Amino acid sequence: MKTLREILAALGLLFAILIATYGCFTLPQQFPTHFDANNIADGWSGKSSLWFEPAIACVVYVVMTLVRFLPPSSFSGPFNEEQRAAAIPICLDMVAWMKAEMTWIFAGATWLMIALAQGHNPEKLTLWFIFPVSGVVFATGIYHIARMMRLKPEKSAVQ
C-alpha cells in the first residue's frame, strides 16, 4: 500500500508538470483565469501562472515526505506512550494519502486552468472538480482521525 501511495503521489506531481508544459505550448500569451457569475472572463494571466500549482505540488510533496522523518515526540495528542506508538503509523498513513491527494488536486487545478483558457464551460468544470475533490480529502481525514480516536486515552493523560 505504501508503494501505491508513493506512485500515486509521484504520478500526480508528474501530471501537474506535464500539463503545465502542455499549456505553455498551446495557450496564447494571455488567457482568462477567472470568471464572474455570468461566466464572463474578468481575470487574465500569462503562461508563467501555469507553474504556480505544480510548484506548490512540489513543495507539498517534499514537506509531506519529510514528515515521516520527524521524531516520535513531535506527534502530540492525549495519548500515553503506548497509544502514541499506535497513533503515529495512523497519522503517517493519513499524511501519505493526503500527499497523493494534494498532488492530484494541484494537477487538476492546472488542468482546470488550461481547460478554462481553451474556452470550456467554467461553471460545469469547477463544480465537477471542487465537490468530488473536497469530498475525497475530507473523507480521508475523517477516516484516519476516527481510527486515532479509537485509541482511548487514559484519564490521567487528559487534563
pLDDT at 154: 53
Q: Cβ atoms within 10 A of the Cβ of 144, count?
A: 19
Task: Point out which residues pair with 45 in neighbouring strands.
Answer: 31
- Backbone phi, psi, residue 156, to 5°: -70, -20
Distance CA 133, CA 144 (A): 17
Could you read off the pLDDT of 59-89 as tens digits, one per residue?
999 999 999 898 888 877 777 778 888 888 9
Task: Point out which residues pair with 34 in neighbouring strands.
Answer: 43
Q: Give the start-to-end residue ranges of the domains of the chain.
A: 2-149
List, for the chain, all residue ranges whose pLDDT scores fall below the cut of 50. 156-159
Could you read off the pLDDT of 99-112 as tens digits, one per residue?
999 999 899 888 88
